[in-house]
Amino acid sequence: MGVAAARAERCARPWISHVLHMALLVGVLSLAGYGVGFVAGDRGINLLHVLHISR
């Protein structure tokens, strides 16, 4: 039982680590997106208009 529990814990750790890294990445991207939106709004730039022109 001890070995199985240790094995299960070892298998769970990378998964938990992966989830934490993804959460961190999403958080950073959200903050970056919010910052870009704030700057764009502050300067009176319509971001959708800019993206539409760039296509």
Q: How confident is the model over 27-38, as pLDDT tens digits?
A: 888 888 877 777
State the sign of the Cα–Cα–Cα–Cα dihedral 23, 24, 25, 26: positive
34: DSSP letter? H
Confirm whether 51 is domain-assigned: yes
Q: Is the pLDDT of residue 53 over 80?
A: no
**Cβ-Cβ contacts under 8 Å for 55 (sequence gap 6 or more):** none
If one counts the domains in the chain, the total is 1
| Calpha distance 8→31 (Å, rounded) | 35
Confirm whether 16 is domain-assigned: no
- CA 5 to mean position of chain CA atoms: 31
If you search the block for the tokens 């959460």, which residue do you land on?
23
Confirm whether 2 is domain-assigned: no
Confirm whether 52 is domain-assigned: yes
Q: How confident is the model over 5-50, as pLDDT tens digits?
A: 666 566 657 778 888 999 999 988 888 887 777 776 666 656 666 6
- pTM, two decimal places: 0.45
